[in-house]
Amino acid sequence: MNNKPKPDDRRDNVNRIQNNIDNTISNYRETKDIIKSTEDNKMKRELEEKNKRREQSLKGMRREIKQEAIDKKNGYK
């Protein structure tokens, strides 16, 4: 049995990261709407904290997608 790892295939990384960014933004917006409509202060705090984590994730994903786009343009050298 051959247990070699799969080669690193980064060709779809930009698309995959962009999809993750789009989904995170969508979740962020939905959560903002829920925060506005709920009376439960505990839930509001929890959702606000979750959105703060999403903001941090978005920053990281945006940095990553920029680097991947550069690497893709340069042929992943």
User: Over the stretch 11-42, which tens digit does the pLDDT of each residue have?
Assistant: 788 899 999 999 999 999 999 999 999 999 99
Percentage of the chain beyond pLDDT 70 is: 94
User: Is the pLDDT at 50 greater than 90, yes or no?
Assistant: yes
Asked, for residue 5, whether it belongs to a domain, the answer is no
d(C-alpha 46, C-alpha 20), whole Å: 22
Asked, for residue 6, whether it belongs to a domain, the answer is no
User: Is the pLDDT at 74 greater than 80, yes or no?
Assistant: yes
Q: What share of the chain is helix, strand, coil (3-state, %, to 5)?
A: 75, 0, 25
Asked, for residue 68, whether it belongs to a domain, the answer is yes
- Mean pLDDT score of the chain, rounded to an integer? 91
pLDDT of residue 58: 98
Asked, for residue 7, whether it belongs to a domain, the answer is no
Asked, for residue 36, whether it belongs to a domain, the answer is yes
How far, in whole angstroms, is CA 68 from its chain's centroid?
A: 14
Reported pTM: 0.81
Asked, for residue 37, whether it belongs to a domain, the answer is yes
Tally of domains within the chain: 1
> For residue 62, what are its two tokens?
């945006």
Could you list the residue range(s) of the whole structural domain that residue 19 is in?
A: 13-73
d(C-alpha 37, C-alpha 63), whole Å: 33
